[in-house]
Copies of this chain bind each other. A is one copy, B any other.
Amino acid sequence: MLDQYKQQHPYLLALDSIIFGFDGESLKVLLVKRGVEEKTWSLMGGWLQPDEGLEQAAARILFELTGLTNVYLEQLFAFGDPHRDPIVRTISVAYFSLVKVADYESKISETFQAQWFSIYDLPPLLFDHGDMVKLAIRRLRYKAAQHPIGFELLPDKFTIPQLKKLYDAIYNTDFDKRNFSRKILSTNLLIKLDEKQKGFSKRGAYYYQVDMAKYQQTTDSFLNFIPS
């Protein structure tokens, strides 16, 4: 190894995930109890292994908690305040992830003490995890305003009223349903199915599916969902 490398200090590298879920009513974050003091809620996290990339590690850690693969995962921010972990200096790369709550096995509580918390009612969090969640919420709002990522939080088949409720929850507001569905449908990203949702409402709403081909293409396109 060259001298210029040898002289440098190495640091521990952690990954922490802000895991968002939607239960049909409100936007939730999945928190666990672990670590130094088992009394404090924290984000799900773990250490980078020598043979892993960052996203790969984040995906592994997410899998260990939820049993889920193929989950929406996006790098949020690298947190590196020298004193963020008071025991030993650690850099944490935070990822935010969108999961379909219905999908995952409740394998969750087996090994980790895990619980969903409304984003409007979070407990005190370990280290700088509170900052991470705040930033993740800002990023989700920012991103969902222009990119069709909301679908990632819903089952494969969903109704327009469900989607509207999700957006209501993300932005803590109440969109006009006529304008909302006009805007959503004008993206041509949804395929209307012949099937209606049963049991939830008397009339029943039609299910829609994401047009995956178009979705892949337009991940980068702007949608401009949120006015003013």
Contact = CB atoms under 8 A, between A and B. Distances in A.
Interface of A: 1-2, 5, 8-13, 36, 47-54, 75, 77-82, 87-89, 91, 93, 145, 222, 224
A78 B81 contact: no
B87 A50 contact: no
The 9 closest A-B pairs by CB, nearest first: A10-B10, A54-B80, A78-B78, A8-B47, A78-B93, A5-B88, A53-B81, A11-B13, A8-B12
A82 B11 contact: no
A137 B79 CA distance: 23
A9 B91 CA distance: 12
B8 A54 contact: no
How many protomers of this protein does the assembly include?
Answer: 2
A84 to B, nearest CB: 9
Contacts of A89: 50
A5 to B, nearest CB: 5
A11 B10 contact: yes
A208 to B, nearest CB: 26
Contacts of A224: 224
Given A53-B80, A82-B50, A91-B13, A36 B75 contact: no
A66 B116 CA distance: 47
A97 B1 CA distance: 31
A2 B82 contact: no
Given A11-B48, A88-B5, A77 B75 contact: yes
* Most central of A13, A36, A50, A54 by chain B CB within 10 Å: A13
Nearest to A49: B9
27 contacts: A1-B87, A1-B88, A5-B12, A5-B87, A5-B88, A8-B47, A9-B48, A9-B50, A10-B10, A10-B11, A10-B12, A11-B11, A11-B12, A11-B48, A13-B13, A13-B91, A50-B82, A51-B82, A53-B81, A54-B80, A54-B91, A75-B77, A75-B78, A78-B93, A80-B93, A91-B93, A224-B224
